[in-house]
Structure 1
Amino acid sequence: MLLFVSVCLVLCWAAAEARPNIIIILADDLGWNDVGFHGMNQIPTPNIDALAYSGIILQNYYVNSMCTPSRAALMTGKYPIHTGMQHSAIRASEPWGLPLSEKLLPQFLKELGYKTHLVGKWHLGHYKKAYLPMNRGFDTHLGTYGPKIDLYDHTNMDLGTWGFDFWRGFEHADDLFGQYATDIYTEEAIKVVKAHNKSEPLFLMVSHSAMHSGNPSEYLRAPDEVIDRFQYINDTQRRKYAGMLAKLDESVGMVVKSLQEYGLLENSIILFSTDNGGAARCDHNVASNHPLKGVKNTLWEGGVRGAALLWSPVIKYPSRVANQTFHLVDWLPTLYSAAGGNISVFENIDGFNSWEALINDLPSQRTKIVHNIDDVYGSAAITVDNWKLLKGTNFQGRRDDWFGPTARDGAYNIDTIYNSSSAEAIGKIAKMPTKDNITRLKEESTIKCNDSIPITPCDLLKAPCLYDIMVDPCEKQNLASGKPEVLQALLLELDKVNKTAVPPLKIKPVPEADPKHWGRLVTTFGEANTSLSIVKLK
């Protein structure tokens, strides 16, 4: 009996000490209003919604406004102004990347015994081999190095040239040519889950290429039979966007289902997030950030407020809208803490450990967000408590408006959520919320502009603008003239933060990066003697 009790205690202790599997599913350029749980009825996202309603919806969740800065923030726990990643994204032909002096999330997790896998997009530098994912903490990588690809032929067109960008580790994955990228990522993620040794914790990051636009020949691509499901959408581009989104949602469901089938889901944390706001009216993209103002690569809410959810059986109060203020930089300490790590290992990061706040519905430590400071563009934004200041703008103000379809007409079919792969998997280890609860959660997380708030002009080319973001998330009423003391306080705070910024690392494209010199591959063009299995063409 004593032996039995001792064994039980040891097993219970081991189970309590088991580190959770961490799965990050990152969408690219997904709009705030492109998920059903934020009010969109036009394109069903049942698998994503099932996770949201049975987990927590991150309502006051912020990202950076572009791909590279956001990914850098996620990986380092630092604002891009503190890593030199604050100005624009890395083009395939530019010789720079996230500094090698930065230690990244997968490297920290490896020290806790995690097996680490990246499936999909990297976009943090590839001009030298040292910058590649498998030299930055990932055990495996299948996917792209650069900013965007055609979802079928996996080419990237950069400044008038083109090259193939699809890699398995350090080798070009030419055998996958012609296969739809979202399907490739899904199959690879399931393969990783199936092969994983359950005695070790798993970190799997599925970094999708959708919903990013591809090449000018056809910006948005999905299988014809999927696009054909959306004949009721009149706009051709939005119909293609719907096909891409349907495949992304399907992928989420298949990955969640595989986690359950192979016994990993009951000890998993799943984060689903966009990397930045939707790219409405950029590169012929038709994302919807409705009713938020602005788009990708702007500092309006539409560019920096992200659609996201967190799901895990350890969330003590699931099926709720989490109103804690959270920024992308918080994931490094938050997930490390969830994994049982001691966050004292982090030095000079901007992120807060919000794990207990999220799972126990406690107040957030975060009261300030530095959205970005870009002295090249001359744009900056900061939020302190309920006040948001914008100073300067990008694109001469052409994107300082409300864009994209509302996508809120039509019926919302809750039955599709219960019939989804995600709900099927979740239902085997926990209860899905009732229809009434789903309706309530959808209503709570759908932002509606206050019609009683007047639109007060804001011209960022002439003067800073100020908003009470809690009352006015749609950024309609510029209060700069009516709240001069608040305006001045935020300008001083912004100036104080800017003194801590490092110079941007952005480097212009170089001719030697042209894929025509490298067998038409987007590759490590900065290596003096590349060890990759490619031939430099004369």
Structure 2
Amino acid sequence: MKKLCLCFAIVAVFLKRESFAQETEDLRPNIVYILVDDLGWADVGWNNKGLESTPFMDKLVKNGTQFTQMYSSHRCSPSRAMALTGRYAFRSGMGSFPIAREVPFGMNTQDKTLPEYLKEVGYDTHAVGKWHLGVCNSSYLPTSRGFDTFYGHYSGAVDYRGHFIKRSKNFYHDFFDNTIEQHKLDLESDGQWTTDLFRDRTIDILKEAKRSKTPAYVYLAFNAPHEPTRAPADLIARILEKHPNLPYTRAEHLAAVNQIDTAVRQIYQQAKKDVKRETLIVFMSDNGGAVKKFGGGRSPDNTGHEYDDEESLPRACNYPFKGFKNSLFEGGILSPSFLISTARKFSRTRFNFPFHIIDWAPTFLDFAGIVPDADFDGISRKSELESRWIKSQRTNFVYGVLDFYNEKKNIWEDQIAVRFGKWKFMNFNMAVNTFKCDEHENQPVTVSRNMQDFLNVPTSYWERNFHNSITVAEPYTKKTLYDGFSLYNLENDPFELDNLIDPISGNPEAYNEIIEEIMKFIEEQKSKGHVLPPIPGDENGKLYTRVFQKMGPVFGYQFFKKKLFTGNFSGAANAYYKTKRIVPLDIGGFYTKKGFVGSDWCTGDFYDEEEAKFLEVESSKK
């Protein structure tokens, strides 16, 4: 009897331990944050009725939460920095331009990143795809910024299958697999599509998270559909079959989007296999679509298609919003976006409040059970996602502070855009029109009526916008500024057709009071931190981006080893590429006229008088 009682006691202790283990099992969600590159508002089916580019994600949107006012930045690097830090990019001098490969600059190492927070509480963290946040110093690299692993490319505009970047007359190989060892150049994957490689790596991460029972954060940054846009020939043919009148470049762009759609489907299917752990998947773009493709200097692609060197060809589409990548109009900063969970449905199927990219970091931390840092510019939106009765916590925010150095006047000038309730204010006035999508040719205005349920404007307003877009008032590359500021009421005028304070057509005096409030808000935000980009001739050697990029390959600092690599690029494989010299990217050094130099220069410890004098001479020629 005593033995029987002892057995029962042992079993009871075992069951209690099992029960405690189950109670304490880490079931915090996996987080997969998908950031695509240069995706236009109307490049996806859920915003462009009848478009066949995103059939799977169209279904996800119906079962998830669609964001109708999701804002990113106007360019690549600023958006990526804000997504990872939850802070405005202009606070650290990154608000204006992307970080080019040649620029000795990177995401502020003083800003604590989202993956650093998540690692502290037991998350595995992984960066996959495009980095574009600095390469000149190892402290700028993903594995120094909170990520356990990195698989992808450090710079922008990488070739989809050759995995190289083109700068001036040379090509440089830029594809790394840091899952094996630090800075390991990956040559074995040559010929494979980057979208497929990034998909496979993400699936492997989710498999490992399921096996190890450890939550994972994946920052998945597809390079598609950014230039130089490529897509499989069968996908291009499929798009052209559905939309036979499309220009080839528009079809190619949509085919690249369709390839992402397939990748998202397979990632979602893998996430669903982990029945114990929820996976949150967020999809958005780093900026609005670039509406024209740059044909100049491009070779035939892998389908043999010839590009017109003299013509800028159709690419992305942001209709019905005006603007494009690199602008602060809605078309340049609005992102097609959604959130989907593998385990539940959020209370809002359509999130109609403004949501800024800086809000994702504190929101993800909230989902992971971490109290968001008070130093964030972003705010957690978790409660709004989980309850339809909670009002919007985001009313005012900064779209962007873009700093430009006026070399003639030797002063800084800026372009600023802010959201203040229903008002959108910009401290400049520019003639930019709406660009109609090529698939809308000869179609009635009803092509976009599927959005009218959340853009509550009359039919006449839609028609005005549609017909205005047929003839563009200004070439999209011409950015002429005019006198005055801009103020739009986005509740009544979501397409920014009527500048209420235009000095000719508007009534500036009627809005003096609201303008004063907005100006106070701008000054308040800038007072919290506003760092200018590097200046020409800076004594620390930090050269201003645009001046630096004007330099030729002889003087330009190039972050590569002397060793050359000639690849058999089966992907974009043609004689044009094979005849070029491909230089593998190296970390921690660069060429000058004197040869290979260490990377201390980009922290300000290296300053070469001869190079500084050369810069002064070159600047004086302008």
Check whether the contact 1:68–1:85 (CA below 8 A) recurs between aligned residues. yes
CA distance in structure 1 between the aligned counterparts of 2:80 and 2:563, rounded to whole angstroms: 27
Correspondence 1:344-355 to 2 at 5 A: 346-355=373-382
Correspondence 1:361-440 to 2 at 5 A: 361=388, 362-376=390-404, 378-392=414-428, 397=430, 400-405=432-437, 407=439
Q: Which amino acid letter does the alignment assign opposite residue 513 of structure 1?
A: Q
Check whether the contact 1:144–1:165 (CA below 8 A) recurs between aligned residues. yes
Residue by residue over 1:335-366, the C-alpha shift from the partner in whole angstroms, topping out at 9 and shown as x without a partner, is 001001122xx242201111111122222211
CA distance in structure 2 between the aligned counterparts of 1:440 and 1:401, rounded to whole angstroms: 20
CA distance in structure 1 between the aligned counterparts of 2:201 and 2:153, rounded to whole angstroms: 13
Match of 1:302 among 319, 331, 335: 331
Offset of residue 497 of structure 1: 2.6
Match of 2:283 among 258, 272, 275: 272
Higher mean alpha-carbon deviation, 205-214 vs 38-47, is at: 38-47
CA distance in structure 2 between the aligned counterparts of 1:449 and 1:129, rounded to whole angstroms: 54
Where do 5+ consecutive residues of structure 1 fail to align? 215-219, 412-438, 532-538
SS of 2:136's partner is coil
Residue by residue over 1:498-525, the C-alpha shift from the partner in whole angstroms, topping out at 9 and shown as x without a partner, is 3441222454247231647464123325
Where do 5+ consecutive residues of structure 2 fail to align? 1-7, 295-312, 405-412, 475-479, 535-543, 550-554, 565-582, 591-596, 601-622
Offset of residue 208 of structure 1: 0.1
Match of 2:248 among 227, 236, 248: 236
Check whether the contact 1:94–1:513 (CA below 8 A) recurs between aligned residues. no
Q: TM-score, normalised by structure 1?
A: 0.84
Offset of residue 7 of structure 1: 5.8
Check whether the contact 2:73–2:333 (CA below 8 A) recurs between aligned residues. yes
SS of 2:584's partner is coil
CA distance in structure 2 between the aligned counterparts of 1:471 and 1:99, rounded to whole angstroms: 39
Offset of residue 171 of structure 1: 0.8
* Other-structure match for 2:410: none
SS of 2:284's partner is strand
Q: Which amino acid letter does the alignment assign opposite residue 390 of structure 1?
A: M
CA distance in structure 1 between the aligned counterparts of 2:152 and 2:461, rounded to whole angstroms: 48
Check whether the contact 2:30–2:280 (CA below 8 A) recurs between aligned residues. yes
Check whether the contact 2:129–2:198 (CA below 8 A) recurs between aligned residues. yes
CA RMSD of aligned residues (A): 3.0
Q: Would the alpha carbon gap of residues 119 and 373 (structure 1) be closer, same or farther in structure 2, given more than 3 Å must change? A: same
Identity %: 28
SS of 2:204's partner is helix
Check whether the contact 2:43–2:254 (CA below 8 A) recurs between aligned residues. no
Q: Would the alpha carbon gap of residues 229 and 387 (structure 1) be closer, same or farther in structure 2, given more than 3 Å must change? A: same
Check whether the contact 1:42–1:410 (CA below 8 A) recurs between aligned residues. no
Match of 1:293 among 314, 322, 332: 322
Offset of residue 87 of structure 1: 1.4
* Other-structure match for 2:578: none
Check whether the contact 2:206–2:271 (CA below 8 A) recurs between aligned residues. yes
SS of 1:336's partner is helix
* Other-structure match for 1:121: 130
* Other-structure match for 1:176: 189
* Other-structure match for 1:221: 230
CA distance in structure 2 between the aligned counterparts of 1:226 and 1:8, rounded to whole angstroms: 51
* Other-structure match for 1:357: 384
Check whether the contact 1:40–1:408 (CA below 8 A) recurs between aligned residues. no
Q: Which amino acid letter does the alignment assign opposite residue 477 of structure 1?
A: D
Question: Residue 73 in 1 paired to residue 114 in 2?
Answer: no
* Other-structure match for 1:312: 341
Offset of residue 460 of structure 1: 4.3
Check whether the contact 1:278–1:295 (CA below 8 A) recurs between aligned residues. yes
Residue by residue over 1:164-185, the C-alpha shift from the partner in whole angstroms, topping out at 9 and shown as x without a partner, is 1111111110111121111111
* Other-structure match for 1:163: 172
Check whether the contact 2:66–2:351 (CA below 8 A) recurs between aligned residues. yes
CA distance in structure 2 between the aligned counterparts of 1:530 and 1:80, rounded to whole angstroms: 24
Q: Would the alpha carbon gap of residues 259 and 87 (structure 1) be closer, same or farther in structure 2, given more than 3 Å must change? A: same
Match of 2:525 among 486, 489, 497: 497
SS of 2:292's partner is coil
Q: Would the alpha carbon gap of residues 446 and 227 (structure 1) be closer, same or farther in structure 2, given more than 3 Å must change? A: farther
SS of 1:174's partner is coil
Question: Residue 478 in 1 paired to residue 499 in 2?
Answer: yes
CA distance in structure 1 between the aligned counterparts of 2:267 and 2:586, rounded to whole angstroms: 29
Check whether the contact 2:272–2:342 (CA below 8 A) recurs between aligned residues. no
Check whether the contact 2:102–2:559 (CA below 8 A) recurs between aligned residues. yes
Offset of residue 81 of structure 1: 1.2
Q: Would the alpha carbon gap of residues 385 and 518 (structure 1) be closer, same or farther in structure 2, given more than 3 Å must change? A: farther
CA distance in structure 2 between the aligned counterparts of 1:448 and 1:363, rounded to whole angstroms: 22
Residue by residue over 1:298-353, the C-alpha shift from the partner in whole angstroms, topping out at 9 and shown as x without a partner, is 0000011111111125655456111122110011111001001122xx24220111
Offset of residue 64 of structure 1: 0.6
CA distance in structure 1 between the aligned counterparts of 2:482 and 2:169, rounded to whole angstroms: 31
Q: TM-score, normalised by structure 2?
A: 0.73
CA distance in structure 2 between the aligned counterparts of 1:325 and 1:187, rounded to whole angstroms: 33
* Other-structure match for 2:146: 137
Question: Residue 93 in 1 paired to residue 106 in 2?
Answer: no
SS of 1:75's partner is helix
Correspondence 1:42-61 to 2 at 5 A: 42-61=51-70
Match of 1:462 among 480, 483, 493: 483
* Other-structure match for 1:210: 224
Check whether the contact 1:124–1:131 (CA below 8 A) recurs between aligned residues. yes
SS of 1:512's partner is coil
SS of 2:23's partner is helix
SS of 1:47's partner is helix
SS of 1:176's partner is coil
The answer to which structure, 1 or 2, has the higher relative contact order (CA under 8 A, 6+ apart) is: 1
Residue by residue over 1:365-404, the C-alpha shift from the partner in whole angstroms, topping out at 9 and shown as x without a partner, is 11112011123163110010000011237xxx57x22125
Higher mean alpha-carbon deviation, 448-457 vs 272-281, is at: 448-457
Higher mean alpha-carbon deviation, 400-409 vs 196-205, is at: 400-409
Residue by residue over 1:78-119, the C-alpha shift from the partner in whole angstroms, topping out at 9 and shown as x without a partner, is 011112111110111111110111211111110110111111
Higher mean alpha-carbon deviation, 154-163 vs 180-189, is at: 154-163
Check whether the contact 1:290–1:406 (CA below 8 A) recurs between aligned residues. no
SS of 1:254's partner is helix
Q: Would the alpha carbon gap of residues 515 and 444 (structure 1) be closer, same or farther in structure 2, given more than 3 Å must change? A: farther
CA distance in structure 2 between the aligned counterparts of 1:441 and 1:23, rounded to whole angstroms: 28
CA distance in structure 1 between the aligned counterparts of 2:456 and 2:442, rounded to whole angstroms: 17
> Across the two proteins, how many residue pairs are aligned to each other?
491
Q: Which amino acid letter does the alignment assign opposite residue 258 of structure 1?
A: Q
Check whether the contact 2:164–2:172 (CA below 8 A) recurs between aligned residues. yes
Check whether the contact 1:90–1:124 (CA below 8 A) recurs between aligned residues. yes
CA distance in structure 2 between the aligned counterparts of 1:300 and 1:449, rounded to whole angstroms: 21
CA distance in structure 2 between the aligned counterparts of 1:408 and 1:263, rounded to whole angstroms: 42
Q: Which amino acid letter does the alignment assign opposite residue 364 of structure 1?
A: S
CA distance in structure 2 between the aligned counterparts of 1:356 and 1:326, rounded to whole angstroms: 13
Q: Which amino acid letter does the alignment assign opposite residue 493 of structure 2?
A: D
CA distance in structure 1 between the aligned counterparts of 2:563 and 2:87, rounded to whole angstroms: 34
CA distance in structure 1 between the aligned counterparts of 2:79 and 2:454, rounded to whole angstroms: 23
Offset of residue 23 of structure 1: 0.7
Q: Which amino acid letter does the alignment assign opposite residue 114 of structure 1?
A: Y
* Other-structure match for 2:584: 521
Offset of residue 451 of structure 1: 2.6
Offset of residue 496 of structure 1: 3.6
